[in-house]
Amino acid sequence: MKEISGNLSAAGRKFGIAVSRFNSFFTEQLLQGAEDCLLRHGASPDDIVFVRVPGAAELPLAVQKLARSGRFDAVMALGCVIQGSTPHADLIEQQVSRAITQISLDTGVPVTGGLVAANNIEQAVERAGTKMGNKGWDAAMAAIEMVSVLASLEG
Ligand code: INI
């Protein structure tokens, strides 16, 4: 059996990040987590670009622009949807997750989701840098690995 797998080096890779302002108390933590992960795995600060959008619902369009630009090896979508903020929180979450998956398939650029989906503030806290980790870090980790996996597959 021959295995194809990626490594976890981000050196020389370029990353785009779309981050929502809504629930910025949490999304800023996600952004910090993603940046920290990319830098610790060898990415250069000059190779990381982020764009802010109003809310999670606006993430797909920004992600699409980033992915289509040809400037990035991978793109991350960072947002935080908390049930109870609005009756359509559920819908936003589903639509965003589906859209970013579709954008990734359409463009061939890995798009990873750092979308905190929480029932309440406490759960959001847990996913934005406390006991359940940091979804931004997780999205960056997945992005780094996917870039490397794709390079191995193509090579
Ligand atoms: N946007 C979020 O990022 N998180 C939420 O929890 C949220 N809720 O619950 O309303 C939210 N709403 C705003 C939405 O993403 C759009 O920005 C807005 O509808 C304008 O299109």
**pLDDT tens-digit map of 111-120:** 999 899 999 9
**pLDDT tens-digit map of 21-56:** 999 999 999 999 999 999 999 999 999 999 999 999
d(CA 142, CA 149): 10
Atom of ligand 1 nearest to the CA of 81: 6
The two structure tokens encoding residue 57: 């619902």
Which residue minimizes the CA distance to atom 17 of ligand 1?
A: 55
Question: What is the CATH number for 102?
Answer: 3.40.50.960
Helices (H), ranges, 41-134: 59-68, 89-107, 121-127
The two structure tokens encoding residue 153: 């597959």
**pLDDT tens-digit map of 57-103:** 999 999 999 999 999 999 999 999 998 767 788 899 999 999 999 99
52 is in which domain, residue-wise? 26-149
Known catalytic membership, residue 41: no
pTM (whole model) above 0.75: yes
Overall number of domains in the chain = 1
23 lines ligand 1 (CB under 6 A): yes
